[in-house]
Structure 1
C-alpha cells in the first residue's frame, strides 16, 4: 500500500468531534444542573473551590451563614461569586435545541393527573414555578391558567404543598397559589352549604400564602388590601368560622400596616371575637388564636383586655401555659400579663388561682428569658400589685419549689424590673409560707440557693 492510499485510510478513521449538545437530546446534562437545587442553572457562578452553582441557590447558602463549599465541604477563602459565562452560554444553546415548554394549562392538567405520584406532581409544580420567575415574563399567563379552574387547581396545589415533597418544591407550590390568591377573596363572602368546601379551600390557601417565607411582602400586602376592601364584617365571620387557618389570616390583617386604624378597631370590637378565639384555643392550643388575641389587645387596649377576660380566656391560657410548646406557652404568658393589668383580669386569675399558679410556676424555668419575665410579671401583678389577691399568694406559696424557682430567676439574666418583682414575690411567698408553717421546704431543699 503506497503512502497516498495509507493517508486516505487514516483520514477515514478520524471521526469528526461530536457537538457538546445534541439537537433533540431527551435529557439535560448533569453539569447544567445546580448541585443544590438540582434545577437547570439560570445564572451559573463559581466559588473559589471551582464548584459551580446557580446564583440564587448558593447565595441562600451563604446568607444562612455557611462558609464552606456545599459540594466539596472545603472552607471558603472568599465568598466572591464569579460568573461562569461559558457554562451559561452552553446552557442557552442546549435550551434552544429543546422542544417548547408546555403551556401552563397543560402543566396544570399534568398536575391534576399526577394523583399519587409525587415525582410527577413535583415536576409539574417546578415547571409552573419556573414560568412565574421575573425574567420569564409569564406570571400573568400562569395566574390566568390557575384562575380559569380554581376549584381543581387550588386543591391540587394545596395537596402538593402539604405533601412529602422537598422544601423548595413546597415553596414553589405556595408561590403559584400567591398569583391567584386575590381571586379567592370573593369565596369568603359566599353563602350556602354547597360552598363550604370552596370557603375552606380559599381560607387554607390564603393562610398558606400569608404565612410563607417564599412569598414577597408586596404580594402579601396586596392580598391583605383585597381582604380589607371587601365586605369586612362578612369576611371576619367567615375567617373565624374556619378555625385555626382563618384565625391566622385574621391575625395577619390585625398586625399588617395595610388596614387603617378604623378597620382594625372594627375587627377588635367584634362582640364574638374573643368568645370564638377562646373556643378555638380550647379545642387545640392554637398559636394563631393566641397571637390573634394579642393583636386585638394591641389594637384596642383596655376594652379588649376586659372582653378577653369576660370570654373566659384565663383557664384556656393557663392550660396553654402548662401544656403547649414553648413558643405558644410564652405567648399565653404574655396574654396573662395583659389580663392581670385590669381589675376584671386580676379577679378572674384569683378565681382560678390554683390552676394559674400551678401552670405559671410549673413552666417558669422551662421557657426562654422572655417567658420567664412574663411569668414573674403575671405573678407579681396578681400577688403584689395594689395589695394583690390573697388566693393567688396562697396558691403560689403552695406551689412546689416556689422559692427556689424565684431565686433562680433573680440570679439569671433578667431585667432589673423583673429582678425587683421577683424579690417582692419572694418576700410575699416566704411570709405566706411562714404563716402556714411551710418554711421547712425552703430550708431543707433550696437553702443553698442564695438570692444575692
Structure 2
C-alpha cells in the first residue's frame, strides 16, 4: 500500500483509503459504504463533501467504479482485490437486527444496516420478508410526525419496496394491506420526495399484482391519481412503467377512469407516445383504450390537438397488441363522437389508408370488424374511389390479365403501404 499510489478516484473522500464497496449519494458523490454508513449512524444527515442536506439517504451501488477498482487491484501485486459478491446473512443475524429496529424504531443506523443486507442479494431479501420484516418496517412508516421521522419512513419504504412480499407471512401481508397502512403509503406517494413516491408506487403495484381482492380495498383519491400522472411525466423509465401498470390495473373501474382523466392522464399519455419505446408505448395505448371507454376520456383525447393524430400514427407501428388497442380507442371515439369535426380530423390524420392497409396485412377478427366500421363512414366518396381500392377490386373481379396479376398485386400493396406511412 505504501509503495503503490492509489488513484484519487478510488479513494473514499472520508477515509482517503481504497474503497471496497463504492456507493453514490443523491448528491452524486461516491463513498465507501462502511464509512458513509458510520457517518449517518453518528446522526449526520448531510453529504460529507458538499455539506448539502440530503433529501434521501438512499445509497446506490457504483458497479462501474467497483469493477475499475477490481481491475486496478488485479494489475497491482500486493493489493487485495475486493470481493465480487458478498455472502448472504444468516437468519439469526436478520432476526436480531429486526428486533433492534422494533425496540429502537428511531435509530437510523439499524435501519441502514437492514437496507445494506437487502441490497446485497435476493436471498437476504427473502429472509427479511419471511422473518417479519414488513411488519417491522410498517411500524417505522407510521412514525412520521417530524422531518427526522419522515426520513426514517422513507428509508423503511425503500427497503419495503425491495422485498418479495409473497414470501412474507400471512399476518405481515394482512397488515400491509390494512387501510391504515395504505393511507400511510399513499401519504408518501403524495408528500414524499421522488424516491419515496417511486417506492410507494412499487409497493402498491406489488399488492395489486399479487391479490385481486386488493383492488376492492384500494380506493385512490384525486391527489393520488395526480401523483401517478407526475410519475408518468418523469424521465425515469421505472417510474413511468410502474405508474402505467398501476393505472392499467385500477382504470377498468369507472370511478377510477374518471379520476385518471381529471388528473390529466390522457393528455400525458398523448404527450408521452411520440418518443416512447415499444414497451411503454404498448402500455400507454392500452391505457388510452380503457380511458376512451368513458365520455370524459374521449373528450380529453378529442380535445387535445394531437390526440387523434398520435393514435393514427401508431397504427401498425408498435406491436399487434398496441395496434388492437389503438383501433379500439379510435373505434370508441368514432362510435360515440361522430361529429363532422371529429370525422374530418380522423380523415386528415390519414386514418383511412392505414385502416385499409391493416385489412390487407391481416389482424384479429375484432380489430378487423372495428376497422371496417370506421371505413364504412366514408362510403363511395372517398376510400372506395381511391386508386388502391379500384385496383384491388379489379384484382378480385378478375378483370386484369393473368400476366399482370403479380405486378398489379405488388402495386396495390405498394400504394397502400405508401399511404399508410
Q: TM-score, normalised by structure 1?
A: 0.58
Alignment of 1:86-97 (within 5 A): none
**Displacement after TM superposition at 1:420 (Å):** 0.8
Tell me the equivalent position of 1:182: 135
Q: Does 1:328 align with 2:280?
A: yes
Tell me the equivalent position of 1:227: 176
CA distance in 2, matches of 1:181, 1:295: 23
Contact persistence 2:188–2:197 (CA under 8 A): no
Q: In 2 relative to 1, CA 417–126 (structure 1 residues): closer, same or farther, beyond 3 Å?
A: same
Tell me the equivalent position of 2:223: 272
Match of 1:296 among 237, 250, 254: 250
Q: Which shifted more, 316-325 or 390-399? A: 390-399
CA distance in 2, matches of 1:350, 1:316: 14
**Displacement after TM superposition at 1:395 (Å):** 2.8
Tell me the equivalent position of 2:346: 396
CA distance in 2, matches of 1:279, 1:185: 25
CA distance in 2, matches of 1:232, 1:200: 15
Three-state SS of the structure 2 residue aligned to 1:364 is coil
- Give the gaps of 5 or more residues in structure 1: 1-107, 163-168, 210-214
Alignment of 1:240-279 (within 5 A): 240-241=190-191, 242-257=196-211, 263-264=217-218, 267-268=219-220, 270-279=221-230
Tell me the equivalent position of 2:332: 381
Contact persistence 1:253–1:259 (CA under 8 A): no
Tell me the equivalent position of 1:151: 108
**Displacement after TM superposition at 1:336 (Å):** 1.2
Contact persistence 1:274–1:308 (CA under 8 A): yes
CA distance in 1, matches of 2:340, 2:101: 62
**Displacement after TM superposition at 1:254 (Å):** 3.2
CA distance in 2, matches of 1:222, 1:326: 39
Tell me the equivalent position of 1:29: none
CA distance in 1, matches of 2:330, 2:228: 24
CA distance in 1, matches of 2:302, 2:158: 39
Q: In 2 relative to 1, CA 184–216 (structure 1 residues): closer, same or farther, beyond 3 Å?
A: closer
Q: In 2 relative to 1, CA 261–374 (structure 1 residues): closer, same or farther, beyond 3 Å?
A: closer
Q: In 2 relative to 1, CA 145–187 (structure 1 residues): closer, same or farther, beyond 3 Å?
A: closer
Tell me the equivalent position of 2:233: 282
Q: In 2 relative to 1, CA 273–152 (structure 1 residues): closer, same or farther, beyond 3 Å?
A: same
Match of 1:193 among 147, 153, 178: 147
CA distance in 1, matches of 2:208, 2:117: 29
CA deviations 1:185-230 (Å, max 9, x no partner) are 1233312222332222222222222xxxxx4723286654222234
**Displacement after TM superposition at 1:397 (Å):** 2.0
Tell me the equivalent position of 2:374: 425
Contact persistence 1:340–1:346 (CA under 8 A): yes
Tell me the equivalent position of 1:448: 413
Q: In 2 relative to 1, CA 258–348 (structure 1 residues): closer, same or farther, beyond 3 Å?
A: closer
Larger Rg: 1
Alignment size in residue pairs: 316
**Displacement after TM superposition at 1:231 (Å):** 4.3
Contact persistence 1:337–1:378 (CA under 8 A): yes
- Give the gaps of 5 or more residues in structure 2: 1-32, 39-60, 67-80, 392-409, 417-421
Contact persistence 2:245–2:283 (CA under 8 A): yes
CA distance in 2, matches of 1:422, 1:333: 17
Alignment of 1:15-414 (within 5 A): 123=85, 125-128=86-89, 131-132=90-91, 140-141=95-96, 143-144=98-99, 151-152=108-109, 154-155=111-112, 158=115, 170-175=121-126, 177-178=128-129, 179=131, 180-189=133-142, 190-209=144-163, 215=164, 217-219=166-168, 223-229=172-178, 230-241=180-191, 242-257=196-211, 263-264=217-218, 267-268=219-220, 270-284=221-235, 286-298=240-252, 301-352=253-304, 354-383=305-334, 385-386=335-336, 388-399=338-349, 402-412=351-361, 414=363
CA distance in 1, matches of 2:367, 2:127: 47
Q: In 2 relative to 1, CA 244–227 (structure 1 residues): closer, same or farther, beyond 3 Å?
A: same
**Displacement after TM superposition at 1:418 (Å):** 0.8
